[in-house]
Amino acid sequence: MTGGLPQSVLFCCDHNAVRSPMAEGIMKKFYGTQTYVQSVGVYNDLEIDGFSIAVCAEMGVELHRHRSRSFDEMEEFGDDLSSFDLIIALSPASQHRALELTRVFHLEVEYWPIIDPTGLGETREAKLHAYRQSRDQIIAQLTGKWGTARG
Q: Which amino acid is at 22?
A: M
| Rounded Cα distance, 35 and 80, in Å | 17
Q: Tell me if the pTM is above 0.85.
A: yes
- Predicted pLDDT of residue 4: 87
Q: Which architecture, in CATH terms, is 8-146?
A: 3-Layer(aba) Sandwich (3.40)
DSSP structure class, residue 46: S
For 61-73, how does the pLDDT look when each residue is reduced to its tens digit (9 = 90+)? 999 999 999 988 8
- Predicted pLDDT of residue 1: 44
For 11-43, how does the pLDDT look when each residue is reduced to its tens digit (9 = 90+)? 999 999 999 999 999 999 999 888 999 999 999
> Under DSSP, is residue 45 helix (H, G, I), strand (E, B) or coil?
coil
∠ CA 63-33-145, rounded to 5°? 85
| Rounded Cα distance, 47 and 66, in Å | 8
DSSP codes joined into one string, 75-121: HHTT--GGG-SEEEESSHHHHHHHHHHHTTS--EEEE-----GGG--
Most confident of 67-81, 85-99, 103-117: 85-99
| Rounded Cα distance, 72 and 69, in Å | 8
What is the domain partition of the chain in residue ranges?
A: 8-146
| Rounded Cα distance, 139 and 141, in Å | 5
Contact 87, 109 (CB under 8 A): yes
- Predicted pLDDT of residue 150: 64
